[in-house]
């Protein structure tokens, strides 16, 4: 299977041509396989998903899309049908790693390659090959998401903290995009104070100050001047914390 990509590149032909498939026959068969594969996500039939993946790779060896089906299918089938670290489970996981490696080395489609990186990290972690998992995680465009699967100890804690803070920033930013929406502003303030529950808001003090000012604007627009004054007072307190 690993020789198919070099052969078709050398002869400047497609894998379908190499195996004697006409374009119309090939396209129709691929559509049928995709439909069957996608149906398993509705039914949750792991066995059928794995079976379709094996069938697709037997008929279209070298097809990167179908190869990642097989790698994913092996890992899922192992998890659902075999005891963790049993001989059968380990064999399927190791086969999955080899298929992911083939994709990472030969696939030019960035989306598929990133999916393969995601899969191999989880697979290697399951096999307790964490050092290898870290290597592949760092090849991904967003390595932090994958590193949480394979880092340990203090490194893992720091990585999780970074992920939480990144997610917090995005969520709060999206909520406050429309600054005159009082409900969103209140939700943003509550989320910050819930996630950072020790009151050590660091530069979020500045964010909270601005949030209070915009809440004061909203209350002023509604004629609730007492509430507006209260939130201006809170903004001053937040400013004092910044200093």
What letter would DSSP give residue 142?
S
Same domain? For 75 and 180 the reply is: no
In degrees and rounded to multiples of 5, residue 109 shows phi and psi of: -80, 115
Examine the fold and report which residue of 126, 151, 176 is the final residue of a domain before the chain moves on.
Answer: 151
Domain edge (last residue) among 105, 125, 151: 151
The CA distance from 215 to 236, in Å, is 13
178 and 236 housed in the same domain: yes
In a domain, 101, yes or no: yes
166 in the same domain as 232: yes
Distance, CA of 106 to CA of 95 (rounded, Å): 17
Residues 36 and 76 in one domain: yes
Overall average pLDDT of the 64-91 stretch: 95
Q: Are 78 and 92 in contact (CB under 8 A)?
A: yes
Q: Are residues 138 and 191 in the same domain?
A: no
Residue 209 lies in a domain: yes
Q: Which pLDDT tens digit goes with each residue over 167-183?
A: 888 899 888 886 778 99
Q: Specify if 108 maps to a domain.
A: yes
Residues spanned by the domain of 205 = 161-242
Residue 179 is predicted with a pLDDT of 72
- Whole-number Å distance between alpha carbons of 185 and 190: 9
Tell me the average pLDDT across 17-45: 83
């Amino acid at each position: 299977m690993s020789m198919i990509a070099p052969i078709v590149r050398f002869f400047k032909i497609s894998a379908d041509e190499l195996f004697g498939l006409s374009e119309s026959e090939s396209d129709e068969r691929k559509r049928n396989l995709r439909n069957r594969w996608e149906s398993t996500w509705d039914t949750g039939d792991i066995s059928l998903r794995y079976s379709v993946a094996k069938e697709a790779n037997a008929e279209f060896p070298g097809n990167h899309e179908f190869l990642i089906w097989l790698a994913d299918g092996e890992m899922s089938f192992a998890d659902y049908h075999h005891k963790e670290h049993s001989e059968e489970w380990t064999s399927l996981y190791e086969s999955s790693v080899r298929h992911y490696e083939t994709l990472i080395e030969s696939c030019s489609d960035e989306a598929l390659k990133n999916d393969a990186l995601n899969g191999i990290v989880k697979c290697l972690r399951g096999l307790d090959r964490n050092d290898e998992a870290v290597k592949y995680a760092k090849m991904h465009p967003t390595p932090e998401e994958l590193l949480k699967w394979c880092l340990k100890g203090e490194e893992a804690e720091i990585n999780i903290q970074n992920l939480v803070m990144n997610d917090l920033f995005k969520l709060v930013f999206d909520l406050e995009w429309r600054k005159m929406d009082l409900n969103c502003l209140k939700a943003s303030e509550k989320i910050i104070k819930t996630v950072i529950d020790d009151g050590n808001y660091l530069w979020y003090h500045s964010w909270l100050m601005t949030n209070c000012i915009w809440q004061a604007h909203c209350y002023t627009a509604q004629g609730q001047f007492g509430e507006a004054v209260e939130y201006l007072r809170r903004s001053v307190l937040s400013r004092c914390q910044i200093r």
